[in-house]
Structure 1
């Protein structure tokens, strides 16, 4: 005897609907909401990280022989601008805007690269940000209209 799918028995794969499209499961929709919230949080933390790098750049490590070496004040402005953009686009993702997901994918991918380049200056936070950005990127790419 089989049970009909209910709240506790959601299908794990997208369910085909008429017209050949696919419908998102509740888990996928929840992941996109979580991705939007994480983009907002990452944006706010990026703003704070930028402010700290601009105001007190002596809190970060200095690496004299790093290939992608910038002045820490420059990194601060980069993080401040990226944080503001991430928060704005994260709000768009939470509102359900298709442009938010598309721009969010590009922006989160760029933020992932920037955090990789920032790795020698603040290693533990950069690794955490890399993992968070990879998850957000995956969640935004999983969602289908």
Structure 2
């Protein structure tokens, strides 16, 4: 008598669920997105540091900083995001955990930066959200 696996539900290997091809591909894409988001962060940072006229002036906003300060925030965060994205592409386990944390930090920073460049901030928030999802759902290599 042949024994067959259930028709529905995730495939299991040992104690861990088998990796979803979407999540595994999403992890690779998340690494690329973090790398690109890091490069864009460096560009945003340089633009903010080089000239205060690049971004809109915002009065009476709770998270109002000098544009140069925002430039430094984006520059440093961009460098760290880029390094982490490169680490994810190389398969480093530290990079997956750091990627989730840094994408969350980047998401909050871009939310606070919304009034200065709303479209760019919304795109960055969407990228960060996808990165968090992709890194949290890929179980091909458990983080813990």
Equivalent residue in structure 1 for 2:19, among 24, 29, 50: 24
Cα-Cα RMSD: 1.5
Q: CA deviation at 1:12?
A: 9.3
Equivalent residue in structure 2 for 1:77, among 29, 50, 72: 72
SS of match in other structure, 1:59:
coil
Q: CA deviation at 1:60?
A: 0.7
Q: CA deviation at 1:26?
A: 2.1
- TM-score under structure 2 normalisation? 0.88
Equivalent residue in structure 1 for 2:107, among 100, 107, 112: 112
Partner of 2:86: 91
In structure 1, runs of 5+ residues without a counterpart are: 1-10
Q: How many residue pairs are counted as aligned between the two chains?
A: 134
Cα distance between partner residues in 2 of 1:115 and 1:78: 10
Equivalent residue in structure 2 for 1:58, among 53, 60, 67: 53
Equivalent residue in structure 1 for 2:135, among 110, 133, 140: 140
In structure 2, runs of 5+ residues without a counterpart are: 1-6
Q: CA deviation at 1:21?
A: 1.3
Does the 8 Å contact 2:107/2:129 carry over to 1?
A: yes
Does the 8 Å contact 1:13/1:25 carry over to 2?
A: no
Q: CA deviation at 1:14?
A: 4.3
